Chains A and B, each alone.
Chain A
């Protein structure tokens, strides 16, 4: 087990990529707190599953876009387990729509969740990691959409591009305290979020645009998160690691 007795906190852990990250960290021996917003039943099932397998976990209901939520959750994790070794900012949303008609509410929701949420949680753990522990791993889940954009995603691309820039800037500040900060940028992953696009073009994307000839699975992302959180990732910081089966290489298979 790579992460025995470490304490991890994962946002958006009830479904999709976040759920796979929670499972993978728990399998490596970490105690895992995770945040969900609405999916209480899914969260409880995940708690049961991990506990049954001998792991330690706790679900926290919170909206990451609420400035107070991160303080409350991180305070709770500290009270439970006394430290935070790994933070994974995974909670994210899309509100796709062409820019000409974009509702400012949809701009705000995406930026507040994907970018501000990441800021709040980093802010809530930074002093603990940098000054008290002098160690920590922060992993932000970004997207290839930060650099390889689809129509209808101005809000989403802006949020993920900002997460990448923020990741690099924070890595510079916290480096001297042995806190690493990295991002993982998934391509097309099979989750609820990508369902609409997959239904429309999943086969085409997998067969024509992805050199590895398949869509990604949440586990494909979780594996890289475990790498960044574990001993093998100790000397990696400020990087955005693309995990997309080669999609962003831009090749079209003939």
Chain B
């Protein structure tokens, strides 16, 4: 099993290729959209490249469940992800750290969950079996 540092380095290479950013822009805490300017097609590209880089299959919606709350009143109240939504999110993304998001669970803040660290944590779980 690769070390966390090895995983990070490969993820960084992937992001440099997919997003056309410089090596030193990619830090563990970088947000894909907010800091690295990823657009929607970039998320597909990242998944595609990670699969090749790590030789794993990443099912659609597993790493970046973007469509998870679209228009679902069970999960969102007044533009905020409610308790049910948070529970669902944690189940769908057991590799995500939701503690910051819980403090300000506005729907549009959800994309801030998509950080470099999230990808590394996801792959750690995935490769660890």
Interface membership of B45, Cβ < 8 A: yes
- List A146-202 residues whose CB lies under 8 Å from chain B: 173-174, 176-177
A94–B105 Cα gap in the complex (Å)? 54
Describe A's contact surface by its main secondary structure.
helix
Whether B48 pairs with A176 at a CB distance below 8 angstroms is no
Min distance, Cβ A222 to any Cβ of chain B, angstroms: 31
Task: Please tell me if the beta carbons of B39 and A127 are within 8 angstroms of each other in the complex.
Answer: no
Are A173 and B41 in contact, CB atoms less than 8 angstroms apart?
yes
CB under 8 Å from chain A, chain B span 47-100? 48-49
Q: Assign chain A's interface to a size class.
A: under 10
In the complex the two chains form, is B41's CB within 8 Å of A177's CB? yes
Q: Nearest residue in B to A173 (C-beta to C-beta)?
A: B41
B44 contacts which chain A residues (CB < 8 A)? Answer: 131
**Contact indicator B39/A131 (Cβ below 8 Å):** no
**In the complex, what distance in Å separates the CA atom of A127 from the CA atom of B49?**
12
Chain B contact patch, size range: under 10
B48 touches A127 (CB 8 A): yes
A132 to B48, CA, bound (A): 9
- The answer to the question of A206 belonging to the interface, with a C-beta cut-off of 8 Å to chain B, is no
Q: Give the shortest distance, in Å, between B112 (CB) and chain A (any CB).
A: 22
* A 123-141 binary contact with B (CB < 8 Å = 1; else 0): 0000100111000000000
Task: Find chain A residues with CB under 8 A from B45 CB.
Answer: 130-131, 177
Residues on the B chain within 8 Å of A174, using CB:
41
Interface residues of B in 27-48 (CB under 8 A from A): 39, 41-42, 44-45, 48
With a CB–CB cut-off of 8 A, which chain A residues contact B48?
A: 127, 131-132
Least CB distance, B32 to chain A, in whole angstroms: 15
Q: How far is the CA of A173 from the CA of B39 in the complex (A)?
A: 10
Q: How far is the CA of A250 from the CA of B45 in the complex (A)?
A: 45
Tell me, rounded to whole Å, the shortest Cβ–Cβ distance linking A66 to chain B: 24
Closest beta carbon of chain B to A197's beta carbon, Å? 42
15 pairs of residues in contact across A and B, judged by CB atoms under 8 Å:
A127-B48, A130-B41, A130-B45, A131-B44, A131-B45, A131-B48, A131-B49, A132-B48, A173-B41, A174-B41, A176-B39, A176-B41, A176-B42, A177-B41, A177-B45
The 8 tightest CB contacts between A and B, nearest first, are A131-B48, A131-B45, A176-B41, A173-B41, A131-B44, A176-B39, A177-B41, A130-B41
